[in-house]
Structure 1
Amino acid sequence: MLSPVQHSASSLKTVHLLRALLREASYLPDQSARQYFRSYIVKRFKAYQPAHKATRPRDALALEEFRHRSVQRRRTAVIIQRTRATQRKAHKGLNYLRRANQGELPCLQKVLFLAYGRTGKRRYELLERLLRPELPSSSGGPPQLDHAMPPLHKLYYSDKRFLSFFDAPKQKSPDNYSIAISPRYARLKTVLQSQVKTDIALGRSLKRDHLQTPIRNIWQRPMPMKRARNNVRRWYAETMGRLLPPLPNDEWDGLRALATGERWIEFAKPRVPAIELHVEPRDNQAHSMALIEAGLKLDKQSKADRPWGTERPHNITPRFMRRLYEKIWGYSCKLDWVESQGGGRWNATWGNKIIRTKSYSLPVDQDLFTGVDLSGKIARVPKSEKALLV
C-alpha cells in the first residue's frame, strides 16, 4: 500500500500563493495584462520547481542551460535557500495586483507599463529586436541581417557587444569626438533620434542621439583606450536604460484603438453565481425584512472612512481605462518602412495626446428661469413689493 504524499507547510504555502496570483491576475481589467502576467507567474514558479517534480520531457530539460536566466530552473540547494525570500516577494506581488484591481492608479499604471513593454522584462525583449545588425537590401525592401566586424572592435581591440552598435568616431570639434549609432542598426538609430527629438521619456529625457567624448584627458594627453571604452559603455548603458522600444505594429494600432474608444475594452468577465436546481419557495416578507436589517447595520464602511486624495482607489470604468491607454500610447511608437527614391528608410510614429471635444450649452429661453435665483431656488418677494402688487 502506497503511503500518502507528504506536503510541507512551505510547499503548501507556495501552491496557495501560485493559485492566488493566477486568480488575481485573471481579474485585471486589460486582456494583454492578463495574458502577460499569467505567463510571467507560471514561468517564475517553474523556475523554482525542483527538477524531480517537473512534468516536462527530457528533450526540454536538455535545453535548460540555454534558456533565459529569469526562467531557467534553479538547483535544489538554491531553491531551498531562497524559499522564504521568494515567498515574501510573491506575497508582495499578490498585494500589488490586488491594489491594481481595486483601482489604485499608480499600481494599475505600472501593471500596464509592464504588460506593454514600457518597463520590466518585456521591455528588454522588445529591445533585443532593435539590437540586430542590418544591411541595405538590393531589392528595395527592408534591410537584411549583417555580420560584418564593427569599427570600434578594431579601434579599441575589444570584442564587447556594446561596441558593435557604434560607428567610427568623427571629429566634430578640436576637443571632442562624436560617435553615432552605426547605420547597420537603422531601426535603433531611428527610434533613438525620434525619442530625442520628441523629448519623450518615463524619467529623465535623453539629451543626444550620439556620444560626445573628449579627445584628450585633463593633462592634454591622448585619451587612454580603457577610459575611452568605458565612456562608450557608460553612455550606452544610460541610453538603453531610458530608450522606449517600439511595439509591434498590430499591438500599437490596437492600443491606439483602445485609447480613442474605437475598440471596446475587454474587462474580466464577472463570475455568475450558479443556478439553483431545486428552488425552494421563500417567504417574501421574511426576505424583505432581512434586506432591511442588512441595510440598517452599522458595520458598513461610510464615505468618511474611505481613502481620499490623488492616490485613492478609482472606479475602473471605460473612461478611466481610456485615459490610462492614452498615457501608455503616448510612450509607445511603431516602425514603418517608407519607400523613397534613395532606397527607403525607417520611420517612427509616436502616440500623441487625443484632443477630445468639449461639451457646450446651447442658448435657452430666459423665460424658463424667471422667478429663480442663481442657486436654483424660488426667489422670495419682499413684503413691500407684495403690498404694491395687491
Structure 2
Amino acid sequence: MKKPPAPFPRKEWRSLLRSLLRESSYLPDPIARSACHDQVLQRFRRYHEERRTRIRTDPIRLVQLHKNARHHLSILRRANEAFSRPLEKVLRFAYGRTGRRRRELLSKMLAEDAPQDSNSLETLLTNPSQFEDGWKPPTIITTLLTSQNNNPTVGQLSGLPSVKDLKPPIPEKNAWGRSVPLVRRRNIRRRWYKNVLDVLLPPLPESELRVLEGLISGQIPWKPPRLRYTSRTTTSATNNVDTKAGMIRTILTAGPPKEGTFRPYINGRPHKLTRRFMCRLWKRISSLVPRQYWNAAGNARFTWDSAKPVPTIALSAREESSWKLFRGADASLVETKTLASPPEGDRWQELGSDASR
C-alpha cells in the first residue's frame, strides 16, 4: 500500500523555521529576542525528536502545527512593524507574564520556598497531605495573591481573572444540610489552588529585572533594529482596475473604491520604533512584575511599580541653598504669631466683666 503524501513538504517547514528565527532576531528587546529564539527552536525540536510514527505523520496534527506556526510568524512580523498589541504580547511572553515562561518562573519561586533545614523539613512531613483536611497552601502563594489583589493596576493591565478568596471556599453544609464529603472538599481545594496558579504573576530573576529597569532608565543603550525588507510589489492583469472587468471585480470583492480610510488599521496601526514608544511598553511590563524582598521577620513581601510616572510634589535642595532661601523665616514666624495673639489688658478685663454680667 502506497504511503500517502505529507500535507507539507520538508522544504516548507524549513522555510517556516528560518522565517520565525529571522523575525525573532529583529525584535527591539534583548530579552524578547533570546526568549522567542529559544521558544521556536524548542517547538521544532520537540516535533523532530518525536519517535512515534503515527504522531509524526498525523495529517490533522500537522495541519494544526502549521497553522500555529503561521500564526506566530504573523505576530512576530506585526511586532517588528511596531504594532503595539502584538509587540506587547511578545514582551509579556518574554518577561514571563504569560505562557510557558510564567509557569517556569512560578515553579522556580515555589522551589525556592522549599524547606532549607531539617526542622522545616520535619514540619513539612508532619503536615497533612496536599488538598487533605488541615492542608494549607504555601505562605508565599497567599502573600503574593494578597499583594496582587491589592494592586488595581494588575487587574487593569494583566487581563487575567482575579481570585478574591485567600483560602478554598468550602461551605459548611451541602444542599441537603449535611456535612460536605471529603472528596468534594478535596476537589474544591484542588480547583482553588489551580485557579490561583493560573493568575499569579511571579517575580523576574534579578538579571532580567536589571535589564528591564536599565532599558527604562536609559542606563542600557538602545537603538531600533535594522530590518531587512523585501519588495512585495506584484502586478497581474487580473487585478488591473483600469479595465472594466477589473473595476467590477474590485467593487464586488472589496466594495466601492474609497480613499483615506482606516480599514487596514482596524486591529491597530504600525508605529515608528522610538525610545519613547518602547519605554511606554516597558513601563507597562514593569508594572506587572512584583519586586520581592524580606522583612525583619524573614517573610517574603512584594512591591509593584507604577505604569505611569508619579508626579513629585517636592524638590530636593542642598543645605546651603535651603539656608539662603529660608534664612530668618523662624524669626518672622515668631513675630507673626505674636501679632496674631489676642492683646492683654483692660479691654479683655472689661469684656470678661461684661460676660459675667
TM-score by length of structure 2 reads 0.67
Aligned counterpart, 2:290 = 333
Aligned CA distance change for structure 1 residues 226 and 266 (closer, same or farther; 3 Å): farther
Answer 1 or 2: which has greater strand percent: 1
1:259 to 190, 198, 216: 216
CA-CA distance at 1:222 after TM superposition: 1.0
Aligned counterpart, 1:232 = 189
Aligned counterpart, 1:99 = 78
Partner amino acid, structure 1, of 2:204: L
Q: Is the 8 A contact 1:134 1:146 kept in 2?
A: no
CA-CA distance at 1:93 after TM superposition: 1.2
Alignment of 1:49-60 (within 5 A): 49=48, 51=49
Tell me whether 1:78 sits opposite 2:31 in the alignment: no
2:146 to 179, 190, 193: 193
Aligned counterpart, 1:366 = none
CA distance in 2, matches of 1:315, 1:348: 35
Aligned counterpart, 1:314 = 271
Q: Is the 8 A contact 1:246 1:333 kept in 2?
A: yes
Provide the aligned length of Structure 1 versus Structure 2.
Answer: 271
Partner amino acid, structure 2, of 1:30: D
Aligned counterpart, 2:92 = 113
1:264-287 deviations in Å (ceiling 9; x for gaps)? 335435569xxxxxxxxxxxxxxx
CA distance in 2, matches of 1:41, 1:15: 12
Partner amino acid, structure 1, of 2:260: A
Aligned CA distance change for structure 1 residues 147 and 193 (closer, same or farther; 3 Å): same
Q: Which has the larger radius of gyration?
A: 2
The DSSP-based 3-state class of the residue aligned with 1:212 is coil
Aligned CA distance change for structure 1 residues 117 and 226 (closer, same or farther; 3 Å): same
CA distance in 2, matches of 1:231, 1:240: 14
CA distance in 1, matches of 2:31, 2:308: 22
The DSSP-based 3-state class of the residue aligned with 2:201 is coil
Q: Percent identity among equivalent residues?
A: 34
1:323 to 280, 298, 319: 280
Aligned counterpart, 2:114 = 134
CA-CA distance at 1:144 after TM superposition: 7.2
Alignment of 1:40-51 (within 5 A): 40-49=39-48, 51=49
1:47-76 deviations in Å (ceiling 9; x for gaps)? 111x5xxxxxxxxxxxxxxxxxxxxx3523
CA distance in 2, matches of 1:120, 1:318: 26
CA-CA distance at 1:83 after TM superposition: 2.5
Alignment of 1:243-282 (within 5 A): 243-265=200-222, 267-269=224-226
CA distance in 2, matches of 1:322, 1:222: 55
Tell me whether 1:209 sits opposite 2:159 in the alignment: no
The DSSP-based 3-state class of the residue aligned with 1:149 is helix
Aligned counterpart, 2:9 = 10
Aligned counterpart, 2:37 = 38
Aligned CA distance change for structure 1 residues 145 and 94 (closer, same or farther; 3 Å): farther
CA RMSD of aligned residues (A): 3.2
Q: Is the 8 A contact 2:169 2:188 kept in 1?
A: no
1:220 to 177, 182, 185: 177
Aligned CA distance change for structure 1 residues 20 and 187 (closer, same or farther; 3 Å): same
CA-CA distance at 1:41 after TM superposition: 0.5
Aligned counterpart, 2:320 = none
Greater relative CO (CA pairs within 8 A, separation 6+): 2
Q: Is the 8 A contact 1:115 1:122 kept in 2?
A: yes
CA distance in 1, matches of 2:169, 2:62: 47
CA-CA distance at 1:325 after TM superposition: 0.5
CA distance in 1, matches of 2:78, 2:51: 30
Unaligned runs of 5+ in 1: 1-6, 52-72, 154-160, 170-179, 273-302, 359-390
CA distance in 1, matches of 2:78, 2:272: 12
Answer 1 or 2: which has greater helix percent: 2
CA-CA distance at 1:255 after TM superposition: 1.6
Q: Is the 8 A contact 1:216 1:222 kept in 2?
A: yes
Q: Is the 8 A contact 1:326 1:353 kept in 2?
A: yes
CA distance in 2, matches of 1:147, 1:271: 59
1:305-327 deviations in Å (ceiling 9; x for gaps)? 66456821121211111000000
Q: Is the 8 A contact 1:130 1:188 kept in 2?
A: no
